[in-house]
Amino acid sequence: MVMEEGVQRDRGRGTPATPGAEARQIFVELGEQNFDAICLSTYRTACKLRYIQKRCNLHLIDIYNVIEAVRDAGLNAVELHAGISVIRLENLVSSLFNQLSKRLPTTHTINPRESTVLLVEFLLAAVDSEPDSRLTVLSVKAMLSMLCGGKLVDKLRYVFSQVSDSGGVLVQSKFDGFLREALKLPTALHEGPSFGYTHTLARSCFPQHKRVMLNMFLDIVADPPQCLVWLPLMHRMANVENVYHPVSCSYCRGNGITGFRYRCLRCRGYQLCQNCFWRGNASGSHSNKHQMKEHSSWKSPATKLGRALSRTLGCVSSREPPHPIYPEEPEMTLNLANIVPSRPIRNTSEAMLLSSSAPESSKSLSAAQRMNEEHALIAAYVNQLQSSPSSVNSPSRQDEEHKLIARYTSRLAETDGTGVIPKRSIDFDVNKQKRELIAQLECKNREILAEIKRLRAEHDAACQSSPEKGSTNPTLLAELRLLRQRKDELEQRMSSLQESRRELMVQLEGLMKLLKDEEQRQAAQAAGSSHASPSRPSPSTVRSVGAVSPQAYMYPPQDSLAGVGGDVQEAFAQGPRRNLRNDLLVAADSITNTVSSLVKELHSDDVREEEERLLNGKDRG
């Protein structure tokens, strides 16, 4: 039986609603947000509705919670265009927020009374935004499903279940009523000129399709009609509220962008945050007429390059559809009319039991209801057998009973012990193709792993065999022995050269001693001549005496004479005054350098020959 309730707008009842300024509190708070400064009507409407959603805590309520609350309130048994009272609406909204407060953790609490007052007053204001409108079941379902949280696909599936017939085809009159109620939301926010309702909207949404099925209706997610373009945008806003872009806005110079990021396709490196773009801010050579691209996530240059290479190499599959693909025909309920025999109806309870065996096409029938139907059918069949015991032993009755028990046990086996009948895939060919593709990919993967294992084993075997071959090759061993002998010879030659150098330095020291003795002898002669004539001192003596000390400091001993006797160093300290001494020192240094260079050249030649022999030995091996 269809129940109808008239609309009652009694504001003086004992309910959470309060008159006066508190009745429009949410609109006052909405005006303080200055959303009217946004130039684009779609973004302005989505921002306002998103604020209403968060202010009423509706973003914490999923669409499935709304469906459950509507079912518990008994609205599924009422026609969509039937009116309901405000008291019933308040009870429904209050139950939503009371259940939400129980589910939330203790760290996140809400005020269910305040949320109920704000939401009820906003819904009533939305209903009053159009003249001659009333609060109906469809308006409550449409508004709550649009404002609550959850996935957009789930919301649209619920809406389609309300505006379609039993065959899964959209009913234009019901869809027109849904649009009328849903578009009251932007109209209540003074966005009626942009997204108000007209009588041609329902036809314009799906102009080229006579039969609109579920998958066509869900295309609203990717390509929404103009009247509902704010709905997907509001969900995208909710998804990017906490997305951070590590770039600065070209207008406000903010450090980082949160939310949407907009990049100009004409001005190189020009990017705007969502607040500047929505309000039409521009700077420099950029203009608001330039085409902008909206970004909802940040991707580093390395990530972009990797994705580009993956797409080029075919490692990334094609884009998935914006929504899952559902079967065109709705799932039919189990029909047991051919199993339970027909018989005269004797009482009303038995009529109710047998009426459930008729084929039904309700999409939203749960698994529990189906199990109850089967239990009722079994009970009716047992009652029939009890009422006519003479027919119990007939073969037809036994066959019918066996069929019924077999069907019931098979259905129980499919429930997997959870009481929920699993979904059956209709498109078996697609699943078979996917399984074949997965099997092929797994086979190729095994082949690649086996090839990698084989190459690795060959590489390890080659690395292990090479030193063993070198250690057992007699030619290489002979060459290594010759190289060691050559090295010993070079070391002996080096030591002999060092001995020769040491002998040369000793001879040089002897020469310096002779020179020193000659100098002392000349000094003694000069001293004797000075005693004979003291008035005329020899100028050479004076020069020699006065020149020794400063030159000793001006010409320190060379590093090449380190370790030689002090006579050689002292002779070198006399300075370049004696050409013979300088010539001897230069000759000694040149001899030393020449010997060192000779040894280096011999050593480098030996090393080169050793390397060539090693290479020849490896080639022969």
pLDDT score of 319: 59
pLDDT for 373-400, tens place per residue? Answer: 666 667 666 666 666 655 545 556 666 6
**Using CA atoms, how far apart are residues 581 and 567, in angstroms rounded to an integer?**
12
Q: In what order do the strands lie in the sheet with 261-264?
A: 271-273, 261-264, 292-295
**Is residue 225 classed as helix, strand or coil in its secondary structure?**
coil
Q: Are strands 271-273 and 257-258 parallel, antiparallel or unpaired?
A: unpaired
* Higher per-residue confidence, 86 vs 370: 86
pLDDT for 478-499, tens place per residue? Answer: 888 889 888 899 998 888 888 8
Please provide the size of the chain in residues. Answer: 621
Q: Determine the straight-line distance between the first and last CA of the chain, rounded to whole angstroms.
A: 101
* Mean pLDDT, the chain, integer: 75
DSSP state of 83: B
Which phi and psi angles does 344 have, rounded to 5°?
Answer: -65, 145
Q: Is 140 exposed, middle or buried (0-12, 13-18, 19+ CB in 10 A)?
A: buried
* Higher per-residue confidence, 503 vs 367: 503
pLDDT score of 507: 86
Which phi and psi angles does 312 have, rounded to 5°?
Answer: -65, -40
| pLDDT for residue 284 is more than 70 | yes
Q: Which residues of 295-304 are buried (b: 16+ CB within 10 A; e: fewer)?
A: beeeeeeeee
* Mean pLDDT of the region 561-566: 50
* Higher per-residue confidence, 218 vs 324: 218
| pLDDT for residue 438 is more than 70 | yes
pLDDT score of 368: 56
| pLDDT for residue 522 is more than 60 | yes
pLDDT for 46-87, tens place per residue? Answer: 999 999 999 999 999 999 999 999 999 999 888 888 999 999
pLDDT for 331-347, tens place per residue? Answer: 555 454 444 444 444 44
pLDDT score of 132: 80
Range from 167-176, 358-367, 422-431, 559-568 that averages highest in pLDDT: 167-176
**Using CA atoms, how far apart are residues 93 and 17, in angstroms rounded to an integer?**
12
pLDDT score of 452: 92
**Using CA atoms, how far apart are residues 92 and 74, in angstroms rounded to an integer?**
10
**Using CA atoms, how far apart are residues 175 and 95, in angstroms rounded to an integer?**
28
| pLDDT for residue 589 is more than 80 | no
pLDDT tier at 298, thresholds 50, 70, 90: confident
pLDDT for 80-110, tens place per residue? Answer: 889 999 999 999 999 999 999 999 988 888 9
pLDDT score of 598: 75
pLDDT score of 468: 55
SS3 content of the chain, % helix, strand, coil (to 5): 65, 5, 35
Token pair recorded at residue 332: 């039919």
pLDDT for 121-168, tens place per residue? Answer: 999 999 988 888 889 999 999 999 999 999 998 999 999 999 888 888
Range from 317-326, 509-518, 544-553, 568-577 that averages highest in pLDDT: 509-518
Say which residue the tokens 């086979």 belong to: 443
| Spatial contact of 120 and 86, defined as CB atoms under 8 Å apart | yes
Query: For the ranges 212-221, 303-312, 562-571, which has the lowest average pLDDT?
Result: 562-571
User: pTM of this prediction?
Assistant: 0.50
| Spatial contact of 377 and 357, defined as CB atoms under 8 Å apart | yes
CB-based contacts of 322, cutoff 8 Å, min separation 6: 218, 219, 221, 222
* Higher per-residue confidence, 341 vs 367: 367
| pLDDT for residue 364 is more than 70 | no
| Spatial contact of 190 and 47, defined as CB atoms under 8 Å apart | no
Which phi and psi angles does 581 have, rounded to 5°?
Answer: -60, -45
Token pair recorded at residue 71: 């079912």
* Higher per-residue confidence, 76 vs 354: 76
**Using CA atoms, how far apart are residues 311 and 593, in angstroms rounded to an integer?**
67
